[in-house]
Structure 1
Amino acid sequence: MASLPAAITYAESQSLPRVTPRPAPLDLKEPGAILLLSCYELGHQPLNLAFPLAYLRRAGYRPVAVDAAVAPPDDAAIAAARLVAISVPMHTALRLGVELAARVRRRNPDALLCFYGLYAWLNAEYLLREWADFVIGGEYEAPLLALIQALERGDPGPVPGVSDRVHRAGPSLARIDFPEPDRSDLPPPRHYAHLVMDGRIVPAGYTETTRGCHHTCLHCPIVPLYRGRFFAIPRQVVLADIRRQVRQGARHITFGDPDFLNGPTHSLRICQALHEEFPEVTFDFTTRIEHILRHRELFPEFRRLGCVFVVSAVESVSDLVLEKIDKGHRKADIVEALRVLDEAGIAMRPSLLPFTPWTTLEDYLELLDFIEEQGLIEHVDPVHFSIRLLVPPGSALLDRPDAAEWIGPLDEASFTYTWTHPDPRVDRLQQQVATLVEQATREGWSSHTTFAAVRALACEAAGVAIPAEPPRRGHRPPPPRLTESWFC
């Protein structure tokens, strides 16, 4: 290196303009040069691998895709990769994804590392500082392809929709030209969640009819990215994806849209076409209480077409808590939604958010009473009794005027802001319930045994008498369920 002129001091040299060297072009069309990794997608075959696989292969690339939840990538695949892209659509996936990133860095330190998906963009600052070269959020396929093409050209960026260590990009919200998801390299449905119903167990497939969400619940991690927008996936693409999974052995389909009834006509037509082609295939979907009430006339038809249960984010029966997170329903609406589904012959599987900064011990006991009174003990996955509010970076809750009253510092490595309940008994109960349901799940306790044990902990925390164990069966029959619990 040539020495600096004597008239320029070292300190002065540090303030001189710097030119970022142009990166060397990469050959990314070789098989395995691009490695796509999934860590966790709720026990289903990862659609967040199948879509980018199809998108990149359509453009002439030959990526390798590995679902690490079924079989971790081998060292040879990691060593051969020049770009490793890790899918992180939820909190659990990101925690596992960082562990996988550490392995990639140890085995192949020269590989470029990209995180893509909902929780990538929310945690971009931390990921880019500690692990990632690139982060993509929102509709990620087009920015991922643009990044790959830029790396091939040796273009230093910025790439639209892609954040790197120099440039920050917002989430990509441009509608893409959806390809049929490519599941050819993924493990077949028998490796994933199964439907349990009427004494039989069948493999369950998974697809989506929309992305994003029309609604803006304050605690939802989708809101900071999509802000009330959603995109419909073309009907022919969804049906082709279902057809492929049925050929692979799926006999039940989970529609995993954040809310299946954001576009009710679109959803209904897909279900009608599914039933016409595969009348023996059942399905489930997720929708909000508000939509069950607004579209109540559709549910008998959904049942006729094969719907066996609906997941709905009940969250709480405290009207105060529901108001704080802007959930769009009240306790009375939950009761009415249950009636609508009962009359249609469809089970509800509630998802819960029982621990928030506003939840009291009395609220928690009221929630347990509600579950017993409504005959829902067997409808609730035990993990839901323990779920504590997560507040990721960018959460809409942070914009509320009262946020400063309860929010704590950001724990970047845990991907959430901390908070402490004003009643220490509530935080202590949450920890006890989390430990208990983990044990119950591991040891295979029945729903009623788990419920009674959770209630005993709650009554002890509140200093009230423990009621007698509830009856073994509520007024609803045991509902269909998936072998993998639903949570984020």
Structure 2
Amino acid sequence: MRVALVATYELGRQPFGLASPAAWLRRAGMDVACLDLSRQPFDAGVAEADLVAFHLPMHTATRLAVPVIKRVRRLNPGVRLCAYGLYAPLNGELLRSVGVDHVLGGEFEADLVRLATEVSTGGTGFAPAPGLPRLELMPPWRAGLPPLDRYAALQQGAVRKVVAYTEASRGCKHACRHCPVVPVYGGRFRVVSPEVVMADVAAQVEQGAEHVTFGDPDFFNGVGHAMRVVDGIARRFPGLTYDVTIKVEHLVAHADLLSRLRETGCLFVTSAVESFDDSILRRLEKGHTRDDIARAAALCRTAGLTLAPTFVAFTPWTTLDGYRGMLAEIEALDLVEQVAPIQLALRLLVTAGSRLRELEDLRGWIGPFDRELLVYPWRHPDPRVDRMADEVTALVGRRLTASRRDVFDVVVTCANEGRMPPPAVSTGARRRAEVPYLNEPWYC
């Protein structure tokens, strides 16, 4: 029984979403091949498998997968096709229309084994397990993927490190309106046992990893579990560094743990700040305020952690003054070097299944679902904001190799219609060489 697992794009990371189910399928006796199209050319041989499954963890990955799904279906009209991951159930109707037979959401490993077993026996009655199962995960099988040094690296000044990727938990106990985790996990999360996380990290260290990215939607969803994981890794691999993603409200609530993160090797914390506008933050149900952001930034700085904020720079409620205010806040909080330039241009995505569509004041601004873009497109009630978004996107896109400071200054000038504003009062900017970052900083 031949199974091909395919990924299209996972932020420059070696795909956990292939490696984990590959281990399960191999344990069940399946012949498994993995194909990561972000690092490998398309191989028509995947269409010769009995089952081809596409991992769709994000919006970009799903858009890239659709033409590949069509291509595989043309090459082998009889092959069973599956899509799994966060964006699969959100786009289930569209995926089935382009040839997908089975759609799985979160916690998919056991269902993939059941599906493969059914395909191997010629069965046609497969149905995924109801609800959100609790799985006992095993260490992923990564031997079928390109080596780690072909993926995004950690950069800090002149130092470049090979990066591992793992997950200590999946899902999220929060319900931010715009988050794709929410429709699938519904405020629930699942932990991965510390032993499995440790085994996965150890295997990647053996392959040359010097830094670990934890891909949990929020590392502090289960804060006790999270600290057990990093304490154990620090004891076994002293000198190994890592980064995590943590909500602003958790950074503030667990301020006493930030120094322990630093002591165990944490270099930076990604946090979905999204906006400095409290009215927008309330609409998104982020659970933090503008004041909380400033507090989190100060706490991280005191603990010796780099805060790497992400933003939804343009929303239907963004004003020109609000956008300029966002730039001024980034400057005032000394975050310019810590914000990837693409974050200054990101536009709110209203995807299938999004809780954003519950908002009354959004309904008049969005159009019908776009099957090519996989979003409900929206137009701002002030056309000047849309023009600004387009201009900033173009400015950032033309300056992919420029310094963050240079790009930021160009965006500020654009936002102020060619006039540089008076310099903001800051607390002493960090030099770029001090700021660690992953060199493939796209978050969509």
Q: Flag whether TM exceeds 0.5 (same fold).
A: yes
Counterpart AA for 2:416? C
Aligned to 2:377: 418
Aligned to 1:3: none
1:396 correspondence with 2:355: yes
Aligned to 1:21: none
1:447 correspondence with 2:404: yes
Give the Cα–Cα distance (whole angstroms) in 1 for the partners of residues 138 and 419 of structure 2.
Answer: 58
Aligned to 2:318: 359
Give the Cα–Cα distance (whole angstroms) in 2 for the partners of residues 79 and 356 of structure 1.
Answer: 41
Deviations 1:43-84 (A, max 9, x none): 011000010000111111111111111112322x22421211
SS in 1 for 2:103: strand
Written as runs of structure 1 = structure 2, the 5 A alignment for 1:120-199 is 120-161=88-129, 172-199=131-158
Deviations 1:413-465 (A, max 9, x none): 21111111100111111111111111111xx11111111111122112xxx83
Give the Cα–Cα distance (whole angstroms) in 2 for the partners of residues 42 and 364 of structure 1.
Answer: 26
SS in 2 for 1:259: coil
Conserved 8 A contact 1:374-1:474: no
Q: Give the % identical residues.
A: 44
**Length-normalised TM-score, structure 1:** 0.87
Aligned to 2:43: 74
Deviations 1:23-51 (A, max 9, x none): xxxxxx2xxx2111111111011000010
Aligned to 1:48: 17
Aligned to 2:439: 483
Aligned to 1:165: none
Conserved 8 A contact 2:104-2:128: no
Q: In terms of mean alpha carbon deviation, does 466-475 or 251-260 score higher?
A: 466-475
Deviation, structure 1 residue 103: 2.5
Deviation, structure 1 residue 474: 4.6
Give the Cα–Cα distance (whole angstroms) in 2 for the partners of residues 199 and 174 of structure 1.
Answer: 45
* CA separation of 1:158 and 1:57: change in aligned 2, threshold 3 A: closer
Q: In terms of mean alpha carbon deviation, does 41-50 or 141-150 score higher?
A: 141-150
1:466 correspondence with 2:420: yes
Conserved 8 A contact 1:376-1:474: no
1:230 correspondence with 2:189: yes
Aligned to 1:368: 327
Deviation, structure 1 residue 231: 0.3
Q: Which of the numbers 77, 96, 117 marks the counterpart of 2:64?
A: 96
1:337 correspondence with 2:291: no
SS in 2 for 1:135: strand
1:35 correspondence with 2:8: no
Deviations 1:228-247 (A, max 9, x none): 00000011000000000000
Conserved 8 A contact 1:351-1:486: no
SS in 2 for 1:114: strand
Counterpart AA for 2:49? A
Deviation, structure 1 residue 485: 0.2
Conserved 8 A contact 1:448-1:470: no
Counterpart AA for 1:195? L
Conserved 8 A contact 2:6-2:36: yes
Give the Cα–Cα distance (whole angstroms) in 2 for the partners of residues 195 and 301 of structure 1.
Answer: 21
Counterpart AA for 1:445? A
Deviation, structure 1 residue 133: 1.6
Give the Cα–Cα distance (whole angstroms) in 2 for the partners of residues 466 and 368 of structure 1.
Answer: 12
Conserved 8 A contact 1:372-1:474: no
Written as runs of structure 1 = structure 2, the 5 A alignment for 1:104-119 is 104-119=72-87
SS in 2 for 1:450: helix
Counterpart AA for 1:130? V
Aligned to 2:28: 59
* CA separation of 1:229 and 1:472: change in aligned 2, threshold 3 A: closer
Give the Cα–Cα distance (whole angstroms) in 2 for the partners of residues 79 and 176 of structure 1.
Answer: 29
Give the Cα–Cα distance (whole angstroms) in 2 for the partners of residues 418 and 378 of structure 1.
Answer: 31
Deviation, structure 1 residue 269: 0.9
Give the Cα–Cα distance (whole angstroms) in 2 for the partners of residues 150 and 474 of structure 1.
Answer: 62
Counterpart AA for 1:484? E
* CA separation of 1:391 and 1:381: change in aligned 2, threshold 3 A: same
1:457 correspondence with 2:414: yes
Q: Which of the numbers 247, 270, 273 marks the counterpart of 2:232?
A: 273
Structure 2 gaps of 5+ residues are none
Conserved 8 A contact 1:122-1:393: yes
Q: In terms of mean alpha carbon deviation, does 365-374 or 401-410 score higher?
A: 401-410
Counterpart AA for 1:189? L
Deviation, structure 1 residue 394: 0.9
Conserved 8 A contact 1:289-1:337: yes
SS in 1 for 2:31: coil
Give the Cα–Cα distance (whole angstroms) in 2 for the partners of residues 449 and 38 of structure 1.
Answer: 34
SS in 2 for 1:351: strand
Give the Cα–Cα distance (whole angstroms) in 1 for the partners of residues 441 and 203 of structure 2.
Answer: 24
Larger CA Rg, structure 1 vs 2: 1
Q: How many residues align structurally? A: 442
Deviation, structure 1 residue 115: 1.1
Structure 1 gaps of 5+ residues are 1-28, 162-169
**Length-normalised TM-score, structure 2:** 0.96
Deviation, structure 1 residue 153: 2.9
* CA separation of 1:434 and 1:473: change in aligned 2, threshold 3 A: farther
1:282 correspondence with 2:241: yes
Counterpart AA for 2:25? L
The RMSD of aligned alpha carbons is 1.8
Conserved 8 A contact 1:116-1:140: yes
